[in-house]
Chains A and B, each alone.
Chain A
Amino acid sequence: DAKTTQPPSMDCAEGRAANLPCNHSTISGNEYVYWYRQIHSQGPQYIIHGLKNNETNEMASLIITEDRKSSTLILPHATLRDTAVYYCIVRLFYNQGGKLIFGQGTELSVKP
């Protein structure tokens, strides 16, 4: 399974965009990039995913570089409720039912 590297922590001012980077230099062609977040000890919450193209939904945008070796999750207008641990995951569907391999993630603190 491809490994991901994320900064352990980041700060962001409320109302500003939060840009969370992720490195996945060993990703293979059929692996998707997924982003989840976990607030306190709640269940992980799905945010967004993509394969090659940039993606946007009501929560965030995902920018994947052309060589697919890195990506950035963008929360356009961060709020205090976005304070959480954000996980970047590379998922191979045919490996153990498409399990998600969670690393340490990035602890995002949104400050007033």
Chain B
Amino acid sequence: NAGVTQTPKFRVLKTGQSMTLLCAQDMNHEYMYWYRQDPGMGLRLIHYSVGEGTTAKGEVPDGYNVSRLKKQNFLLGLESAAPSQTSVYFCASTSGTGGGNQPQHFGDGTRLSIL
């Protein structure tokens, strides 16, 4: 079982460059999430999606865009990378049924450094 797969695993960018992080899940989950984790801190929600074609803002959405064109994929874009976006990015998914009674499953993360 692949579960939640994130690509790339590591990336170094220069300030102002753009890139897209890909999250793919093979569990037919409706809900998908992007979090970021900074040193010594817990994860914070960037954007999320409750189904194909829908996205919504989380706690820290500024500087990021997302798209959910296919149910299994959730893309996170940085249009103009800034050093403050240096972080570890985690994608998660859940079935969305059961009123909160289904756990989120996480990928292994993408480590992004902005110089």
Contact = CB atoms under 8 A, between A and B. Distances in A.
Interface of A: 30-32, 34, 41-46, 49, 51, 87, 91-94, 96-105
B79 interface: no
A101 B42 contact: yes
Nearest to A48: B103
A101 B37 CA distance: 12
20 contacts: A32-B100, A41-B37, A41-B111, A43-B4, A44-B90, A87-B42, A91-B100, A92-B100, A96-B56, A96-B59, A97-B31, A97-B33, A97-B48, A98-B94, A98-B96, A98-B100, A98-B104, A99-B48, A101-B42, A105-B42
Nearest to A46: B103
The contact size tier of chain B is 20 to 34
By secondary structure, the A interface counts as: loop
By secondary structure, the B interface counts as: strand
Contacts of B56: 96-97
Contact of B50 (A32, A92, A97, A102): A97
Nearest to A49: B103
A46 B104 contact: yes
A98 B108 contact: no
Contacts of B96: 97-98
B58 A30 contact: no
Contacts of A46: 103-106
Contact of A96 (B58, B104, B106): B58
Interface core residue of A32, A34, A49, A100 (most chain B CB under 10 Å) = A100
Contacts of A98: 31, 94, 96, 100, 104
